[in-house]
Amino acid sequence: MFGDMMGMMGKLKETQKKVEETKKRMDTVILSEKSADELVAVEITANREIKKIAIADALLEDKEQLEDFLIMTLNKAIKKATEVNEAELAAVAKEGMPNIPGMDGLFK
């Protein structure tokens, strides 16, 4: 019984380490998102850190439109980054979780 418990603890520590490594790797995954008419472009890491924003000169004259485009494009980029981040972390967690009765559907 204690051997099983020690094995599970070791597996959990290994999984925790893999999760931390995956989080660091997500800093290097760059995702791009553009507004529908490509007047605003955003680059963001999978850890949701904005790296670059490009704005077409045409938007610089209309503050309200620029704000709308920024909000819309940033929200799309953050959503995409969140999806990638969660999928990667869930895959690592699912791979490393010991087989605990009743927990099978937790990471599906």
Q: Per-residue pLDDT for 16 more than 90?
A: no
Q: Which string of b and e fits 78-97 if b means at least 16 CB within 10 Å?
A: bebbeebbeebbeebbeebb
Bridge partners, residue 34, by sequence: 41
Residue 108 pLDDT = 45
pLDDT band at 25 (very low <50, low <70, confident <90, very high): very high
Domain count, the chain: 1
| CATH code for the domain in which residue 89 is found | 3.30.1310.10
8 found inside a domain: yes
The answer to whether residue 104 is domain-embedded is: no
Q: Is residue 106 part of a domain?
A: no
Which residue spans within the chain are E strands per DSSP? 30-34, 40-45, 50-55
Range of the domain at 51: 2-96
43-101 pLDDT, tens digit each: 999 999 999 999 999 999 999 999 999 999 999 999 999 999 999 988 887 776 655 55
Q: Cα-flanking dihedrals φ and ψ of residue 40, to 5°?
A: -130, 135
